[in-house]
Structure 1
Amino acid sequence: MSMESVQNKRLADQAMDKAQRKMVPFILLMYVVAFLDRANIGFAKQVLQVDTGLSDAAFAMGAGIFFLGYAIFEVPSNIMMHRFGARAWLARIMITWGVVAAGFAYVETEASFLMLRFLLGLCEAGFFPGIIYYLTFWFSSSRRSTVMGLFYMGAPLSLIFGSPISGLLLDMDGILNFHGWQWMFLVEGLLAVAVGIWSIWYLVDRPQDASWIPDNEKQALIAEIQDEDNNKPKGNVSPLKVLGNPKVLFLCAIYFTVQLSVYGVTFYLPTQVAALLGKKVGTMVGIVSAIPWICALIATVIIPRYSDQSGKRGILAALLMGCGGVGLFISNTSSPVLGIFALSIALAGYVSVQPIFWTMPTRFLSGIAAASAIALINSVGNLGGFIAPNLRVWAEQTFHNSYAGLYAIATLALVGALLLLISIPLGIGQNTTCMRSPIHSSHEPQNKKID
């Protein structure tokens, strides 16, 4: 590498360092709020059912129907973000979902509950793949997996801090004649509106518009990303045709099991912890419910970084999913300590596997083909969030066992682990051959990419 190339690489890295410090914490905040608003019904479950007469089946349908709306509008939302710009479209997503989330404070019937959950999914659709697409403007391939790991900290952070906050808001029952669950939905929904309005002034669409990056660093970063795009093999595959690619569909199946496992735990974690502790859902349960998410946060910081350093992809991801499934099986216990430990293992596995998973699509996809496939994979995967609560209710009613749903989710996590193992000989999840260096970009196997 020539001295000029080394200098340009150093300048591009400095630009990405600035972008990581400036943009990633705010994007992380957005994801924290997003995950909290989609998962906080787990805290409201018991009291909401008592106050509104919501049945277990209606709750399960409402928890899952969010993802139906999310899946329907996912790809169109990403297309519109490309047209209107990331800053404006991400702000629109946050403000509209915040208004709908706050509206849950006024739910009175099963019909209104189901309608709002569906609308919440429609409003939030496109947020996750939109962020992934947005990050490709700011970070070269040598940095994206690390940044994705930081972004994925949003889910555990959301419930580490959101769990006790939700518990405290539930304990405000009776203040100003509001139920505790009404306070929870109202405050957390309006928080999303506030962050959405803030994002209009804070986010920048592309590096060339960033006044806080010097021109020489900005030019080096733009050139590095453009050079990566120019060096990718080009094909004549349309963004719609790539959606039928067998490898893309296989990744959809894997991500479906991952998301089904995550939400099969998330929606029921507060009530499961409450049962282990023998207490009602409130501040104490909120604090204890944060423990598994703290473990998930630690795993998300350490394990994806280890994956980059060791080059382990599919095998490590399969191990994480397998540990998650086993942990969920073990969580059916009368021992609070063992139960919380097992739930911690399960969530650590389910959350930390995801940054590793998202390194797989870009091993054979790039450009608009990658953007379309990522939206499809995320859309189909999130249908797991629709299936998970309904599967739990179906299994419990069918087998007349209150833990049958838990076992069903755990079994499908093990299926996901098996699929991840199969991804290795398919050329999707094979290990990388070299560690990433600070100068050279990622040395992953050069599979033929579709653009």
Structure 2
Amino acid sequence: MSMPITASTSTDVARENAVFRKVVRRIVPFLVLCYVVSYLDRVNVGFAKLQMSDDLGFSEAAYGLGAGLFFIGYFLFEVPSNLMLQRVGARTWIARIMISWGLVSGAFMFVHNEAMFYVLRFLLGAAEAGFYPGVILYCTYWFPSHRRARVIALFMSAIPVAGIFGNPLSGWIMDRFQGVNGWQGWQWMFLLEAIPALLIGVATLFYLDNSVRAAKWLTDEEKAVVERAIAEDAAHQTVHGRVWDAFREPKVWLMCLIYFCFVMGQYALTFWMPTFIESTGIEGNLAIGMLSAVPFLAALVTMNLFGRSADKRRERRWHLVVPSLMGAVGFSLAAGWAGSTALSLAALSFAAAGVLTCAPLFWSLPTAFLGGTAAAVGLAAINSVGNLAGFVSPYMIGALKDATGSTSLPRYVLALSLVIGAAAVLTTDKYVVNR
């Protein structure tokens, strides 16, 4: 086997770049596909609401509670799931996650009351727990920190991609299949959109590799290049070791706060975007779906531009602060322009571009100082605590909408959350995170 290569010359640097481009081409598109399916199954309830709430007599608060209960199951099972991924390997565990969430997602077609809705949302969160932080952990096996922001931004492009294609698809299914076989359009949507998770879950067993050393598509020399880069990066990590080490680290709890603030905005968009668009006077599921895709298209472009810039400049903090403040401005303007479809859509696009850019850049912060078992636990803990905002955000919006008859006040609350997140980012140590 070839000796490790030291990237000390321009030729070695070019060689290393070529190897990592090969790794990106092999791994990232498949992970993006998995996350598109994951995100669609997680948030298509936002589209189902347009019909399901009337059919089943759900209040706005009941819908918000059910949407948010996903994150309670997610919170409870996140850390154990990530530890299992580390123990049995990414290939087997990610496949298990996808197959189980596909089965639960399809079962939503049988919902007939609030209690069943709540139970299935909780079970969907439990089934999907570990997927997102598991992929972030998996990326640390393949990419050093200075290459990770762009990779995670590419991976998280799945969120706007799911919105761009998933929203029109969901609207079309609900209109096209309404009444077929005696079922409602929302029932068909849950059934048809669950099938890809099952198929891709099986494909995962044959496609993913658990480690660099197990990758038959890399030569021994290429494996050495990747392993050297990962080893050099690990030397800078400050938190390793046992399970509880991550929970005793103050920086982990700061990361939880920052991520919570960002997720508040993220799930407000994904669960309530169709309702925000409908409230401007738009009718028809397909029309709502097409317009709902516009903010996600803006986010897709912005998040990848910021990801490239952050890696190129090796700067994380201001690349997070700027988009979080963009999100705050966007939500504030959307609250004031709620009566105009064009202006509201422009404001929501600005908000989406900011909010959805925050998440991929955020993960460069904790992965810069977490390593070993502490990384598996710490990343899962940050994701699970942060994603409790996925419970708070939709329920808060639903409750305030029931109380005020408007979505303006909730959008100001979301703007405030993003400002707090930006302020918390500025308290981080720039010498640790800007590597």
- Please say if residues 42 and 268 of structure 1, whose CA atoms lie closer than 8 Å, have aligned partners that are also in contact: yes
1:67 maps to 71
Question: Is residue 2:290 matched to residue 1:287?
Answer: yes
- Please say if residues 314 and 429 of structure 1, whose CA atoms lie closer than 8 Å, have aligned partners that are also in contact: no
Show CA shifts across 1:265-324 (max 9, x none).
2211011112224314x1111111100000000001111212223344222312211121
Distance 1:359 1:225, change over 3 A: same
- Please say if residues 78 and 129 of structure 1, whose CA atoms lie closer than 8 Å, have aligned partners that are also in contact: yes
Q: 1:188 aligns with which of 188, 193, 209?
A: 193
- Please say if residues 240 and 370 of structure 2, whose CA atoms lie closer than 8 Å, have aligned partners that are also in contact: no
2:362 maps to 357
Distance in 1, matches of 2:404 and 2:70, equals 26
Q: 1:389 aligns with which of 362, 383, 394?
A: 394
- Please say if residues 160 and 291 of structure 1, whose CA atoms lie closer than 8 Å, have aligned partners that are also in contact: yes
Structure 2: which amino acid aligns with 1:47? Q
Q: How far is the alpha carbon of 1:89 from its aligned partner? A: 0.3
- Please say if residues 264 and 389 of structure 1, whose CA atoms lie closer than 8 Å, have aligned partners that are also in contact: yes
Show CA shifts across 1:153-200 (max 9, x none).
010011101011101111120122221101110011111111111111
Q: How far is the alpha carbon of 1:81 from its aligned partner? A: 0.8
Q: Which structure 2 residues correspond to residues 192-211 of structure 1 after superposition, within 5 A?
A: 192-211=197-216
Cα RMSD for the two superposed structures: 2.2
TM superposition score normalised by structure 1: 0.89
Distance 1:94 1:237, change over 3 A: closer
Q: Which structure 2 residues correspond to residues 22-33 of structure 1 after superposition, within 5 A?
A: 22-33=26-37
Distance in 2, matches of 1:192 and 1:296, equals 24
Distance in 1, matches of 2:232 and 2:375, equals 17
Superposition misfits of 4+ residues, deviation over 6 angstroms = 233-236
TM superposition score normalised by structure 2: 0.93
Structure 1: runs of 5+ lacking an equivalent: 433-443, 445-451
2:413 maps to 408
1:307 maps to 310
Q: 1:427 aligns with which of 421, 426, 429?
A: 429
2:326 maps to 323
Structure 2: which amino acid aligns with 1:247? K
Residue aligned with 1:207, SS: coil
1:122 maps to 126
How much identity, in percent, do the aligned residues show? 38
Structure 1: which amino acid aligns with 2:398? V
Q: 2:300 aligns with which of 297, 302, 314?
A: 297
Q: How far is the alpha carbon of 1:366 from its aligned partner? A: 2.4
Q: How far is the alpha carbon of 1:253 from its aligned partner? A: 0.6
Residue aligned with 2:429, SS: coil
Distance in 2, matches of 1:416 and 1:234, equals 24
Moved more, 233-242 or 145-154: 233-242
Q: How far is the alpha carbon of 1:8 from its aligned partner? A: 6.0
Distance in 1, matches of 2:105 and 2:348, equals 27
- Please say if residues 331 and 339 of structure 1, whose CA atoms lie closer than 8 Å, have aligned partners that are also in contact: yes
Moved more, 166-175 or 316-325: 316-325
Q: How far is the alpha carbon of 1:241 from its aligned partner? A: 2.7
Question: Is residue 2:116 matched to residue 1:99?
Answer: no
Q: How far is the alpha carbon of 1:256 from its aligned partner? A: 0.3
Q: Which structure 2 residues correspond to residues 130-149 of structure 1 after superposition, within 5 A?
A: 130-149=134-153
Structure 2: which amino acid aligns with 1:159? G
Structure 1: which amino acid aligns with 2:317? G
Structure 1: which amino acid aligns with 2:429? G
Q: How far is the alpha carbon of 1:9 from its aligned partner? A: 5.4
Distance 1:374 1:235, change over 3 A: closer
Distance in 2, matches of 1:23 and 1:362, equals 19
Residue aligned with 2:332, SS: helix
Distance 1:378 1:4, change over 3 A: closer
Show CA shifts across 1:391-433 (max 9, x none).
1133334556542222222222222222223x2xx4158884x
Distance in 2, matches of 1:321 and 1:197, equals 37
Structure 2: which amino acid aligns with 1:98? G
Q: How far is the alpha carbon of 1:362 from its aligned partner? A: 2.9
Structure 2: runs of 5+ lacking an equivalent: none
Distance 1:10 1:112, change over 3 A: same
Distance in 2, matches of 1:180 and 1:429, equals 53
